Chains A and B, each alone.
Chain A
């Protein structure tokens, strides 16, 4: 129903916009409206049709976060076909995009309590759409469902209050879902851009408790000859205001330095605290909500490209809201206790489920305080092969995640890809709590 409504609204909006534009143009040029539509339709509309088919194998971790795979119900094999058409509309003062999606999959479960199960599903939805009007050469107004991402870092973008954890997922073939934004962009000159952003509607944008919190932001970008600095002030309903910044400095053609950071008074993140009333002995509380202490998360990175075109990136993330050793120990103890009672048929079971939900997303960008990432990338090897090798290390609990991405062009339209992820560390360590390893093989066809 929701899909049908969205489609109807989008179609109606597009028709209105196209009609208005064509009438204006036709009047200006004093030519027949029908003739104009037929002659200019080809120039005004374009599309890109991508079909992605893949097999994804994942091995769920045997951790207290997901006892016997009963909490997260992670499949072992998924066979998927995704139809991803992108439609573009370009008129002199109005542009639009529409990205409907049709995803179909068949999955089988081979781990834990759901072993032997299988299921299939086909779902259609509008992942992104946007209408963007040019009010004047300097002012642009847009509304729609889109992905609003910025920053030079590969690992994570703390300065983005809307998509902070966009790069936490290691798999670039799984599309990020769009969110609703109303944006007014002002370009006073070639060096500066000021954006007012309103995360206007709920859509799929809900937190772990199923709640939507509207966020407003002001973003200012300044670009110089070899540098870029962005400043973002944002406020999210029921949370304190937040200041973010990101930037890069092209020190030389091969060498780029960059950063991405955010800071706020207090944090809404959950911390494990002793609790007399909770049968698990601890509970998650918003310990620092409304407090005056400053919580900052900052990333510093460097990128160097060799003469052969291969590029190395090194990034370090300091995440002050992350758990220290004592908090991490309490967190693991609470998770272990919740996991132990998860399958009980009594009150602790429901408390356990709630606790595991909170443990899975305690509102932290990352669980601990210190992370490092190194990446090697080489593109266009023999003009057909791209390689990305990335390793991320949690410096506090010594767990890590290794990702190898291979993409190989096999024709003008088709590309084979293989994405491998191996997580390392203790059974309950940060990177191994959800998935031990995963392997994806697929083909992307574009026409």
Chain B
């Protein structure tokens, strides 16, 4: 009887320990993803400038814009070239509008519509993988000599563009350094590489790395490369009105 009780207690304790370690594992993967999202703009008020360069077989094209982001709300204002000056993209969560001087009204657009080259409108925004995907630690690997976790992200719903993302996250900086994007049919659609030469002070004691370069390559037409260069990163308190289409000056 005594043995039976002891065995049961040990079994319960073992289950508790295993359960705790499983929970800790999940939390740490989520925490890794949260850190990686933060370094790509998912913060409570940040502004930055972006230069998008699209390099194809024949030509190189460039666009410049300023971005204001707060959590899942983003306002993009084009500054260059002249013909795109003052055009805007406003995203409130998954609702997006395109605003263009001369057009009568804001046009509703989808995150999948093309921004330039291989970059979609959604690529300019801050990422929210921690909310949109369930992550599993697949393996560990090196990318450009850096030790990385490889996370397998599966879409929580059919709402997002990519059904699956294979995501390399640096062990030392907890930033996403490489991503492979797969369609619902399992086909590799495009790949992305990220650099973090920017930094951002988010409070008195915390400075975090911030994305400086996002290179997107088409999986089929490999000579088509779109690069987003991030600069002038600032932490800024952004009120609700920044992302309100009713009072946005057009």
**Taking beta carbons and an 8 Å cutoff, which residues of A are in contact with B?**
48, 50, 84, 86, 88, 90, 95, 97, 130, 132, 134, 137-138, 140, 142, 147, 149-152, 154, 157, 163, 166-167, 172-173, 175-176, 185, 187, 189-190, 193, 195, 221, 223-228, 248, 250-256, 258, 303, 305-309, 311, 379-380, 382-384, 409, 411-415, 444, 446-447
**Contact assessment for A187 and B110 in the assembled complex, using a CB-CB cutoff below 8 Å:** no
Q: CA separation between A195 and B58, bound complex, in Å?
A: 49
- Cα distance A415–B94 in the bound complex, in angstroms: 31
Q: Distance (Å) between the CB of A134 and the closest chain B CB?
A: 7
A253-B160 in contact (CB<8A): yes
Q: A167-B104, A190-B73, A195-B246 are in contact. Are A303 and B83 (CB under 8 A)?
A: no
- Taken together as a complex, chains A and B put the C-alpha atoms of A137 and B240 apart, in Å, by 8
- Within 8 Å CB of A172, what residues of B? 102-104
Q: Do A254 and B161 touch (CB < 8 A)?
A: yes
Contact B240–A187 (Cβ < 8 Å): yes
If A134-B241, A383-B56 touch, whether A413 touches B108 (CB-CB below 8 Å) is no
CA distance A367 to B73 in the complex (A): 41
Kindly state the separation between the CA atoms of A80 and B81 in the bound complex, as whole angstroms: 25
B101 lies within 8 A of chain A by Cβ: yes
Number of A-B contacts (CB under 8 A): 156
Please list 8 pairs of residues, one from A and one from B, whose beta carbons are closer than 8 Å in the complex, sorted by A's number. A97-B249, A137-B239, A137-B240, A142-B247, A187-B247, A226-B95, A383-B116, A383-B117
Q: Complex Cα distance A311/B161, Å?
A: 14
Indicate which residue in B101, B105, B111, B240 contacts A86 across the interface (CB closer than 8 Å): B101
B102-161 residues at the A interface, CB under 8 angstroms: 102-117, 120, 122, 157-161
- Greatest chain A CB density within 10 A among B72, B93, B183 is at B93
Give 5 A-B pairs besides A253-B112, A253-B161, A309-B112 with Cβ atoms closer than 8 angstroms: A187-B241, A225-B93, A225-B94, A383-B54, A444-B102
Q: Are A226 and B159 in contact (CB under 8 A)?
A: yes
Please tell me if B59 contacts chain A, counting CB pairs below 8 Å: yes
Closest Cβ–Cβ distance, residue B246 to chain A (whole Å): 5
Residue of B nearest to A251 (CB): B159
A-contact bits for B52-72, CB 8 A (1 contact / 0 none): 001010110100000000001
Tell whether A252 pairs with B104 under 8 Å between CB atoms, given A140-B241, A223-B95, A447-B82. Answer: no
Give Cα distance in the complex from A250 to B94, angstroms.
6
- What residues of A have a CB within 8 angstroms of the CB of B110 in the complex? 250, 253-256, 303, 305, 311
Whether the Cβ atoms of B161 and A151 lie closer than 8 Å is no
* Contact A415-B83, Cβ < 8 Å, known A97-B249, A147-B104: yes
- Shortest 5 CB-CB contacts between residues of A and residues of B: A309-B114, A149-B105, A412-B81, A152-B108, A253-B161
CA distance A228 to B108 in the complex (A): 11
List residues of B (76-105) whose CB comes within 8 Å of A's CBs. Answer: 80-83, 85-86, 92-96, 101-105
Q: Is B244 an interface residue (CB 8 A)?
A: yes
Taking CB atoms, residues of chain B closer than 8 Å to A227 are: 95
Quick one: which of A154, A185, A305, A383 contacts B59, CB cutoff 8 A? Answer: A383
Given known contacts A88-B249, A253-B161, A187 and B93 CB-to-CB distance under 8 angstroms: no
How far apart are B141's CB and chain A's nearest CB, in angstroms? 28
Residues of B bordering A, CB below 8 Å: 54, 56, 58-59, 61, 72-73, 80-83, 85-86, 92-96, 101-117, 120, 122, 157-161, 183, 189, 239-241, 243-247, 249-250
Cβ contact within 8 Å between A48 and B85: yes
A48 touching B86 in the complex, CB below 8 Å, given contacts A140-B241, A221-B246, A223-B92: yes
Q: How far is the CA of A225 from the CA of B93 in the complex (A)?
A: 5
Residue of B nearest to A409 (CB): B83
Determine which residue in B61, B103, B240 has the highest number of CB atoms from chain A within 10 A of its CB, and name it.
B240
* CA–CA, A151 and B95, complex, Å: 12
* Bound-state Cα–Cα, A315 to B246, Å: 25
Tell me the minimal C-beta distance from A112 to chain B in angstroms. 31
Interface pair A309/B117, CB less than 8 Å apart: no
- Please measure, in the bound complex, the distance between the C-alpha atom of A228 and the C-alpha atom of B227, giving whole angstroms: 32
What are the residues of chain A within 8 A of B113 when measuring CB–CB?
305, 309, 311, 379
Residues of B within 8 A of A150 (CB): 105-106, 245
Note all chain A residues with C-beta closer than 8 A to B102.
50, 84, 172-173, 175, 444
Residues of B within 8 Å of A226, CB to CB, are: 93-95, 159
Which residues of chain A come closer than 8 Å to B61, judged between CB atoms? Answer: 383-384
How near does chain B come to A90, taking the closest CB pair, in angstroms?
8
Judge whether B93 and A223 touch: CB under 8 Å. yes
Residue of B nearest to A186 (CB): B246
Q: How far is the CB of A267 from chain B (nearest CB, A)?
A: 25
Cross-chain contact of A444 among B56, B83, B243 (Cβ < 8 A): B83
Judge whether A185 and B101 touch: CB under 8 Å: no
Given contacts A149-B105, A166-B104, A447-B82, contact A380 B246 (CB under 8 A): no
B85, B96, B189, B247: which contacts A185 (Cβ < 8 A)?
B247
Instruction: Output the least CB separation between B162 and chain A (Å).
Output: 8
Distance in angstroms between the alpha carbons of A260 and B184 in the assembled complex: 31
Q: Which residue of B lies closest to A153 (CB)?
A: B108
- Chain A residues lying within 8 Å of B101, measured Cβ to Cβ, are 48, 50, 86
Chain A residues near B240 (CB-CB < 8 A): 137-138, 187, 189-190
Task: Report A146 CB to chain B, min CB distance, Å.
Answer: 9
Cβ of A86 to closest chain B Cβ, rounded Å: 6
Query: Complex Cα distance A251/B160, Å?
Result: 9
Given A134-B241, A166-B104, A253-B161, A228 contacting B246 (CB threshold 8 A)? no
- Cα–Cα distance between A383 and B183 once the two chains are bound (Å): 23
* Residue from the set A227, A252, A379 with the largest chain B CB neighbour count within 10 Å: A252
- A161 CB to closest chain B CB (Å) equals 15
Which interface residue of A86, A411, A444 has the most chain B CB atoms within 10 A?
A86
Which of A142, A190, A221, A384 lies at the interface centre, i.e. has the most chain B CB atoms within 10 A of its CB? A190
Per the bound structure, the CA–CA distance linking A294 and B122 in Å amounts to 42
Note all chain A residues with C-beta closer than 8 A to B86.
Answer: 48, 86
* B72 cross-chain contacts in A, Cβ below 8 A: 225
- In the docked arrangement, what's the CA distance between A306 and B120, Å? 11
